[in-house]
Each structure stands twice: as structure tokens, then as C-alpha cells.
Amino acid sequence: MDAFELFRKLGAGAKFDLKRFGQDAVRFKVQLKHVADDCLFAVLCLTEAGDGKLKDTGGNCISWTSSLEGKIQNLPSEGKEKNSLKRLKHLHQEKVNRIRSQHRINVHGCDVPDPVCTFEELQSEYHLNPRVLQNLRDAGLNSPTPIQMQAIPLMMHSRELLACAPTGSGKTLAFCLPLLTHLQQPANRGFRAVVISPTRELASQTYRELLRLSEGVGFRVHIIDKASLAAKKYGPQSNKKYDILVSTPNRLIFLLKQDPPALNLSSVEWLVVDESDKLFEDGKTGFREQLATVFLACSGSKVRRAFFSATCTPDVEQWCRLNLDNLVSVNIGHRNTAVDTVEQELLFVGTENGKLVAMRDIIKKGFLPPMLVFVQSIERARELFHELVYEGINVDVIHADRTQQQRDNVVNSFRAGKIWVLICTALLARGIDFKGVNLVLNYDFPTSAVEYIHRIGRTGRAGHQGKAITFFTENDKPLLRSIANVIKQAGCPVPDYMIGIKKIHSKVKRRLEKKPPKRSTICTTPRFLMKKKGKAQGRKQTARDEQQGAKKTKEQGLKKKNKTKKDEGTEKHKVTSQKMGSNSSGAELKK
């Protein structure tokens, strides 16, 4: 590295506080005169600008490069100079602290590498492929977001981490770039990186992001879209020419459980758990056990794990502290808060019927599409769709009981702007990045503050402005207080009485998450005109209704759940927490 390069690195656009450090800098200039040209130059760059600010030479901050560190170690060390260098280093640390606090980056852990302030630094410091850098530029991504500034260097140093950053703040890129850089070259050893997502829609979004970033680099990025096909592709007979795999957990498990296993994860070096708190959800129907199976399958000794989410439970943090190696946790801003780029409003609608009236009102008054409408169950999504499909607006519905084809079509049409109003379940609550959603409507009250944060996070992304309206009725009172608090914390006005509502027991909160209040059917047809049960009801039956109705009855048989599992579930929970306490060796989330 020549002197100019060092100058660039050290001085690059530093908003160096000369008032504060000017004296120091001048002193260094004198003291370091004979130490080394490079260092002298570095210090000069801090003093040269007379106007109190350093000139912006393209970057945004000083980077204490590893190469500089090495250089300084090798310098002839006589007391005076060494001292000066110590001061210089201290100066640098102050700078780093300032950058962190400026971007609200909070880190906990040992030996945390400095944040990077430009993508170019990733090339000089961590050998990011120039083509990837070009792909970033082509995508209009010019500088890293706070989570990227800190999480990328951490992963590049192979550090296991738990990262919490707001919705729409660039978490996906924060783990994708290190994966691409870390793997260096395509290799034929089998998958070396795995990303787990809670929904297929999110998995496919991450997959497409990886494809876009790695274009022209030659990495083989895969997604399991059809498990049956995947079995052939990744099985023992395959050529192992693949690098990164993105999937939902159950599809992986399906392949792992084949005999012989249709997938081998023993070469995995990076396991990224996106929406980690979701994937840690416990219980018979939770993801946790699936995640545990995947962890166990990544049996290589080199495997590193990274957890990302906008929200984090104490449970996840506890687990990470106990099981990850030399954990670093990164938080951007305060944990579990909503973004402040969304204008949030709570709207009292009286009763269930009041919701439909209010919804029609919003539509009638004219709204700026696209809009996302969240309801609490698949059944209610269908009902609301039936009510709105004749309003003369482009409305569609998505939930897990629709076919993969339908789901893909809906997402694509919504992205293309062909759907104005998309009714959805929690399926779309997390991670999905629709550009320019103008309004999120919580038709049904969210089942928790966390759920609320994720839902409204579908708008107001990447610094854009968004709006969220949340309907509530008398029935929603138990959770009103905690949601109102989230809104208040994000800087939006809420009536005082809501904050004053008595706190509910956390046990009740948990129960509400599992069993939201029962709501009356969404239907404007008078009851006495309706048939008793089954089939789509009411006057407005169309071919589309029939299709959905038929599908529903067919699936009802499959979906019947027996109720004897409850005890079994709590038993499992006990085993799990015991295990987590005693087992520090590995990743086991289950026995």
C-alpha cells in the first residue's frame, strides 16, 4: 500500500472533529515526522484542511486497516514514536465510536471489527469481488446501511452473531454480501452456505437477491422449489456443483430424511437464520424443532451461524449466548421497535361490522395503491376477499392454503402493480420487500406487538415514507396498550388513555398470540339468507368462489387436528430448556 492509498483510507471523507482533536493531530504531525512516510502522511491528512473539515475524498470515514496495523507493529519502536502511535490508535477508536453512535450501532462482544463506511472498503479490506461491487452499483446501492456497516465485517471475520435491525433496513444484503465474499471461489464440495427463511415467499426473495448480486461471478445459488426434484439434484449421485442454498426448513428436512439422505450439509460453513425469532418459535407447531434438525445436519466443524431479525426475544438471545462461539450481538437502534418512517394510526371501528364499513370508506375516499390488508386467519382472508371482489378494485388474496402457483402469481402481480389491494395472512408479515406499499391496513388487530412491528414494516422501507392504519374494536382491548406503546415510541401520537390501560399478564399475552379473539364472519349478507355451513355463502356466488369453496372442503379433511398433543408439547419444552442449559457444546435445539 503506497502513501496515497493510506491517505485515502485514513482520511477518506472523515468528518473529523478538528476542534476536538486538532491539537492532537498537530502534535502527531510533529512527533511522527521521522517514524514513517505513511504515518506522517496519515496524520497530515488530518491537519491539512484548514476549514475545520477534512475534504471528502470519496468515502465516509477513517478505516483502521489491518495492513496499517501491521505496518505500525513493524516500525522501529522507540518510546516516543510508539506512544504517538498509541495516541493515533486511540484517536481512531474515538472515531469508530462516533461512527457507531451516529448510526445507532450497538455492539456487544469481544474484538469487534470496525464498521465499514463504503462498499469500496469491502473490496480493499475483505476482497469483495469487483463484479459484485459493480452489481451493487447497478442495483443503485451506493453506501451500506448501519446493519451492513457492522454485520458484514463481523461475518467476514467469521464471527457468529445475533443481529437485530429494523424492518427494511437492509438485513438481507448484510448477510448476502459476506456469503458471496466468504466463499471466494465456486467449489464442488456441496453447499457451503445455507439460508433458512420462514416462508417460501421470503426464501425466493432472498434467492433472487443472491442471484442478482452474484451475477457474472459463477456461484451456484439454489432454492428448493420442488422437494421431489431437489432430491435428484442434490442427492449422493449429484456432482456437488453448488455453493449456496436458500430454503424453508421443512423442505430441507424432507430431503435430509430420505434414505439415503438426498442432501448433505456437512460442508456448510455458514448457516444464516433469517427472521430468527420466528424460526425459534416453540411448541408442536412451531419451527424450532425443524431448525434443530437443520442445525444437526450442518455437521462440519467449521460451521458458523448468524441470526438476523427485526425483533428478538430473550429466549433467542439466551440461546445464542449459550451456544454460539464468542458471540457478538449487534443492535441497530432500540430492539423491538417499529420504524419511524411509517405514519401509524389506530382507528376505533366499534364492532366487526364496523371494519367493513371503515374499509369501504377508505376505498371510496380514494387511496394510493398498492395496499396490504392483514387479517388473522385464512378463513377471514377468504371472507374479506369475497366481500371486496365486487367493489370494482383490483383485489386479490394470499395465504398458505392457496397453491404455490397461485401464491407466485399473486406476488408477481402485486409487484407489477396489477393488484391494488392484497389481502393476506401472517404469510406476508415478515421480510417481504414490496417496493412502494403505500398503506398497510391491519383489518384484524395483530396478535402481538412483534407481529405488529413486522406487519407495518412492509411499508416505510429503506427510508421511504409509509402509512399504517390499525382497526380495533372493544375485543382488542387486551393488546391495545402494548401496540399503542410501540406506536408512541416510534413518535406517532396515541391517546393517553391507551397507555394508561392496565397491563395484562404476560401469560394472557402468550395465550392471545396463540388464540386471538374469535370474530364474527365477514359478511354483509343477512344471516337468514345464508345457508348453514360449507360452500361459499350468500348472493354473490361466482366461478371463482366455487373454485375456492371446493378447495376448502377438500382440504378440511386433511386439516383436522386432534387435541391430545398439548401435554406432549409442554413436556418437549421442558426437555428443550433443560438441554439448552446444560449443553454448551453444540447447536442442539432439541434432544
Partner DNA sequence: AAAAAAT
Binding of residue 287 to DNA (CB under 7 A):
yes
Binding of DNA by 249 (CB under 7 A) = yes
Rounded-to-integer distance, Cα 35 and Cα 40, Å: 7
- CA dist., res. 273 & res. 447, Å (int): 23
Amino acid at 280: F
> Does 215 contact DNA by CB under 7 A?
no
Nearer residue to DNA within complex by CB, 17 or 281: 281
C-alpha closest to that of 283 among 57, 574, 581: 574
Comparison of 192 and 399: residue with beta carbon closer to DNA: 399
CA 137 to chain centre: 22
Of the candidates 359, 326, 581, 342, the residue with the CA atom closest to the CA atom of residue 471: 359
* CA count, 13 A, side-chain hemisphere, 439: 20
The 10 Å CB-count burial string (b at 16+, else e) for 244-264 is: bbbbbbebbbbbbeeeeebbb
Query: Which is closer to DNA, CB of 160 or CB of 401?
Result: 401
Residue from 224, 349, 373, 449 in contact with DNA (CB under 7 A): 224
Contact pick of 227, 296, 347, 492 for DNA (by CB under 7 A): 227
Choose the stretch contacting DNA; rule: CB under 7 A; options: 1-9, 242-250, 340-348, 457-465: 242-250
Q: Is the CB of residue 429 less than 8 Å from the CB of residue 454? A: yes
Size of residue set near DNA by CB under 7 A: 40
Segment lying near DNA (by CB under 7 A), choices 60-68, 245-253, 523-531, 539-547? 245-253
Residue 376 within binding range of DNA, rule CB under 7 A: yes
In the chain, DSSP finds a helix count (H) and a strand count (E) of 24, 14
3-state secondary structure of 273: strand
Q: How far is the CB of 437 from DNA (least distance, A)?
A: 18
Nearer to DNA, 159 or 382 (CB): 382
- β-bridge pairing 439-442 and 371-374: parallel
Stretch that binds DNA, among 177-185, 241-249, 336-344, 483-491 (CB under 7 A): 241-249
Please give the residues from 48 up to 67 whose contact with DNA meets the rule CB under 7 A: none
Q: Which residue from 125, 201, 274, 387 is in contact with DNA, where contact means CB under 7 A?
A: 201
Site string for DNA, 489-528 (x = CB under 7 A): ------------------------xxxx------------
Classify residue 115 by its DSSP letter: P
Selected range binding DNA among 150-158, 238-246, 252-260, 470-478, rule: CB under 7 A: 252-260
103 vs 407 by CB, closer to DNA: 407
Question: Which CB atom, from 176 or from 427, has the smaller least distance to DNA?
Answer: 427
Taking the mean position of all CA atoms in its chain, how far away is CA 202?
10
3-class secondary-structure state, position 276 = helix
Q: Does 177 bind DNA (CB under 7 A)?
A: no
Query: Closer to DNA at the Cβ: 198 or 370?
Result: 198
537 binds DNA (CB under 7 A): no
Residue 479 engages DNA in binding (rule: CB under 7 A): no
Determine, following the binding rule CB under 7 A, whether residue 291 of this chain makes contact with DNA. Answer: no
Residues 202, 430: contact at Cβ < 8 Å? yes
Sheet arrangement for strand 105-108? 105-108, 328-332, 161-164, 304-309, 270-274, 193-196, 244-247, 221-223
Q: Is residue 447 close enough to count as binding DNA by CB under 7 A? A: yes
Q: For DNA, which stretch binds (CB under 7 A), given 64-72, 142-150, 194-202, 355-363?
A: 194-202
DSSP letters of 283-318?
A: STTSSHHHHHHHHHH---TT-EEEEEES---HHHHH
CA dihedral sign, ordered 62, 66, 69, 70: negative
Residue 408 engages DNA in binding (rule: CB under 7 A): no
Q: Which of 34, 55, 137, 226 binds DNA (CB under 7 A)?
A: 226
91 near 61, Cβ under 8 Å? no
Does the footprint of DNA cover residue 548 (CB under 7 A)? no
Binding segment for DNA (CB under 7 A), chosen from 11-19, 56-64, 125-133, 251-259, is: 251-259
Please pick, from the candidates 65, 118, 248, 331, the single residue that binds DNA as defined by CB under 7 A.
Answer: 248
Q: List the one residue from 29, 92, 251, 305 that touches DNA (CB under 7 A).
A: 251
Nearer Cβ to DNA, position 186 or 517? Answer: 517
Helix (H) or strand (E) holding 88: helix 79-102
CB of residue 254 vs DNA: minimum separation in angstroms? 3
What are φ and ψ of residue 274, in 5° steps? -85, 150
- Torsion sign over Cα 573, 578, 579, 580: positive
Handedness of CA 327, 149, 106, 461 (dihedral sign): negative
> Of 123, 124, 238, 250, which one interacts with DNA (CB under 7 A)?
250
Minimum CB separation of residue 520 from DNA in Å reads 14
Decide: 95 and 45 in contact? Cβ < 8 Å. Answer: no
Please select the residue that binds DNA; options are 117, 173, 426, 536, rule is CB under 7 A.
Answer: 426
Cα–Cα distance, 328 to 161 (Å, whole number) = 5
Q: Is 481 in the site for DNA (CB under 7 A)?
A: no
Angle between helices 119-126 and 146-156 (to 10 degrees): 10
Does 451 sit near DNA (CB under 7 A)? yes
CA dihedral sign, ordered 187, 189, 194, 199: positive
| 371-374 β-sheet, strand order | 342-350, 466-473, 439-442, 371-374, 421-424, 395-398
Compute the least distance from the CB of residue 551 to DNA, in Å.
13
Q: Which is nearer to DNA, 249 or 457 (CB)?
A: 249
Interacting residues with DNA (CB under 7 A): 198-201, 224, 226-228, 247-254, 257, 281, 283, 285-287, 290, 376-379, 399-401, 425-427, 447, 451, 513-516, 558
